[in-house]
Each structure stands twice: as structure tokens, then as C-alpha cells.
A and B are shown apart, each in its own frame.
Chain A
Amino acid sequence: MKHLMEEELIEAYYGGDEADAASREHLESCAACAQAYAALKSDLDDVKPVSPPARDERFGEQVWERIEPSLHTYTERKWSWRPLGMWRGLGLAAACALLLIGGFTAGRLSVQRKPPITVAKQPAPVVKVGKVEVVVLSDHLDRSERLLVELKHADTDSAEMASPMRDEARSLLGPNRVCMKNATQNGDPALATALDHLNRLLAQLADQREGLNSATIARLQEEMNADGLLFEVRVLRTRIPDRQTGNKAHLNGGTI
């Protein structure tokens, strides 16, 4: 038979849930162990719990009075990042970064989902504008030259000639404004100035609601000659073929 160790006897003495049931059973059946246990019990029973000296009824209050001056006052905590600790703070920062990345990615994807605009389906309007500018200008100057020639040689007494000139002047006003605007934007002051003179004349021609009378035609002829408008238009018209060939690359390059 295996006897109990002293540790097991001590364990049995203090009992409680920690005491081994097998040890208790062994003590009942083993005389030697029971004797050893009795000796242990006698020794430990002799060790009485120390009774502390009686304290004053105000002992607790006295303790408080002694320590109270050394205590600081807690201030109510306001929300801040610091109590979160480094790891919580880093976690929040990571979450924010993920949100940013997610938002950016979602934005990119939504843009990519839009149907791509192809040149074949929808030609770039800029290119079209560039071509129109060249064509209109040359054409416009041709038409304007013809009109001015007609005006120069117009018979002031013929109403048949006056009416088509007025209509032509009206149709030329719109393209003339476009050409004038383009000339200004492209930094061509000579062309812009000439077109501006032309614009004034065309406006006066087009503005005659009652029809062109001899007096008006005579006045316009005088103005045209004074300004040298026909000469200017002819000079410009001669420059156009050069501009077209010389600046084709530039125009194409500028519009594409």
C-alpha cells in the first residue's frame, strides 16, 4: 500500500474542493497515514489565526484623512484618440485607408463601365470645326468678293439686282462672324480687321428691310471704296491657298 505524502496530508487538512477524495478514503483505511494526519492536524490547529489589535472606530476615516491630501482629482474623460491605444488607433487608420482605396476603386470601375466614345460613332467636333473654318473662310471670301464686285458695279436704279445682294449679304453675315471669331482666336489681326470691315458692310446691306435703294447703294459703294474693302478681300483670298497648304498640318494637328 502506498502511503500519503506530506503534501497530500496538508491538502487533505485544508480540504475544500481541492482535497482528493482518494486521500480521504485512504486515511480511513490506513492507520499509519491517519496517525500522520492527526499529528499534522494537531500542529496546524495550534497555529491560531492572529487576531489584529483592535482599531479605533474612526480608523477608516483616519486612513482617509491621511491619504486624502496626496490624491489628485480625476477629471471626466473626454473623447480622444489616446485612450484607444496605439493598436486601436492603427486599426482605425487602416480602416480609413481601406475606405479611401475602396472608394477610389469603385469610382474607377464606374467610369470604365460607361460605353467608350469612339471616333467612328461620334467624330470629334473639334476636327469638324477645324475643317469648317478653312472651307468656310475660302468659300466665304469667294462669295464676299463676288458680292462686293456686284455691289461695286451695281446699277443704282435696278431693283432686281438689289434684292439678291441683300439676301446674299444676310446669308454671309453668320459665316463672316464665325470667320472673324476664328481669326481673332488664331491671332490673325489683319484677317480679323478685314472681316470686321466686311461685317459692317454686310450688316448694312442685310438690314435694308424695305430693299436697297439707289441712295443706299451709292453710299455703300462709297464706303467700300473708301475702306478698300474689295482690295483687302482679294488679297486675303490670294493668301488662302497658301494658308491651306502651309497650315494643313498645323490645322490638323490643332484640331485632332
Chain B
Amino acid sequence: MQCMDKNDHAAIQAVLSGDKEAYGTLVVRHSPSLFRVAFRITGNEADAEDVVQEAFLRGYRKLKGFESRSEFGTWIYRIAVRCALNRIGARRVDGAGRVAEQNDPEEDEIQVEDSAAGPDRLLLSGEIGALQESAMRSLSPAERTAFVLRHMEDCSTEEIAVALGIAPNAAKQAVFRAVQKLRGRLAELRVKI
């Protein structure tokens, strides 16, 4: 890991000295981890790919401001988390607008979180993942992101706070609210099943 960090710093120095291609090694090295967290937050493959690209683009533009004391992997990971959070936030607003404009019941089922998937469908498909995803949709973007980071990415409260740009206590509260909502939603769905 230390060797990788050294390589990262060498690549950054090369990029800042005019070797654009050196950034390619950083992209190749860190794309998988960025895609993983982006997919977990967005729940969508195409969105996750877009988030990865956007994160690396932003990272390149901000590379001069990158402090060599921190690790590039951690730094670009935080950028990707912000990008993913923005994306699900924008999607939520966009979805709400479409529900207001259209009266198609099927469209409502897709866009409105409470009716994303019916119990029958869940029972028939037998996919616990779908049940979980349905419960996850009841969370706000910040709650969902905080929960993913805490529950799936094993981030500490402090790391979540830094990634989301909020106070540690606010990050802790976001995780608590997410767990409460998830448990309530999962209980409802289990009863229906």
C-alpha cells in the first residue's frame, strides 16, 4: 500500500509537470474502488460509471490543490462519494418533477419510492436484494450515502463526515435515521410478504 502511495505521488508530480498520461495510471488503479462505492450509493450501473468519470475529471482539475500529505486514493474516493451524492440528489428532484407532471401509475411506481416494488413481485422474484433496495429508496440521499459508507464501506463516523462535508455528529445522526427508516421499511415489507 505504501509503495502504491509512492507511485501515486510520483504520478501526480509527473502530471503536474506536464505528463498528462501519468494520470491514466491513477485512473486505472483507482477506478474499481470508485465504481464500487458509486454503485452502492447510486444503485445504478450507468450512474456509477458516470460518477467514476466525473470524479476523475474533477480530481484532475483540482490536482494542483491536492495536498501531498493525504493519500490520493482517499482523496479521489471522497470526490466520488460527493459526485454520487449529487447524482442521487438530482435524480430524486428530477423524479419528483416527473411524478407531478405525469399521471401514469406505472411511472409512479418506478419514481415514487414507497411503491417501487410490490410485495407480490418481491415474493415471486425471491430477491432479498430487491427488498433491500426498496427499503434503501426510502432514505434521503444523505442518509443513504451515510448508511452505505457506514454499513457497506466500513467507514468511521469521522470519515463519513469528511466525505459528506458535514460535522461528525450530523454524520452519526444521518446513520441513525437511516437505520431507523430501513428497519421500519423492512418490517413493513416483511409483513406484506
Contact = CB atoms under 8 A, between A and B. Distances in A.
Contacts of B128: 46, 48
A67 B53 contact: yes
B interface secondary structure, majority? helix
> What does DSSP make chain A's interface, helix, strand, loop or mixed?
helix
B56 A67 contact: yes
26 contacts: A14-B150, A14-B175, A18-B156, A47-B135, A48-B132, A50-B39, A50-B129, A50-B133, A50-B148, A52-B48, A53-B45, A55-B31, A55-B35, A60-B28, A60-B32, A63-B49, A63-B53, A70-B57, A71-B20, A71-B23, A71-B57, A74-B17, A74-B18, A74-B64, A76-B16, A76-B17
Interface string A72-83: 111111000000
Contacts of A60: 27-32
A53 B35 CA distance: 9
Interface string B143-158: 0000010111000110
A50 to B, nearest CB: 5
A211 to B, nearest CB: 97
Interface in A51-70: 52-53, 55, 59-61, 63-64, 66-68, 70
Interface string B32-48: 10011001100101001
B53 A66 contact: yes
Contacts of A159: none
Interface of B: 15-18, 20, 23-24, 27-32, 35-36, 39-40, 43, 45, 48-49, 52-53, 56-57, 60, 63-64, 128-129, 132-133, 135, 148, 150-152, 156-157, 175-176, 179-180, 182-183, 186-187
A68 B45 CA distance: 21
Contacts of A40: 179, 183
A74 B63 contact: yes
B116 to A, nearest CB: 16
A44 interface: yes
A74 B19 CA distance: 8
A10 B30 CA distance: 31
A47 B129 CA distance: 8
A16 interface: yes
Interface of A: 6-7, 10, 14, 16, 18, 40, 43-44, 46-50, 52-53, 55, 59-61, 63-64, 66-68, 70-77
A80 B150 CA distance: 45
A47 B151 CA distance: 8
Given A10-B176, A71-B23, A76-B17, A61 B28 contact: yes
Nearest to A17: B156
Nearest to A49: B152
Nearest to A59: B31
A52 B40 contact: yes
B56 A63 contact: yes
A157 B135 CA distance: 149
B102 to A, nearest CB: 29
Which 7 residue pairs of A and B lie closest in terms of their CB atoms, listed nearest first? A60-B28, A60-B31, A52-B39, A49-B152, A64-B27, A64-B24, A73-B20
B80 to A, nearest CB: 12
A234 to B, nearest CB: 96
A59 B28 CA distance: 7
B180 A59 contact: no
Nearest to B30: A60
A121 to B, nearest CB: 69
Residue from B30, B35, B63 with most neighbouring chain A CB atoms (10 Å): B35
A26 B18 CA distance: 60
Given A6-B180, A16-B156, A67-B57, A47 B28 contact: no
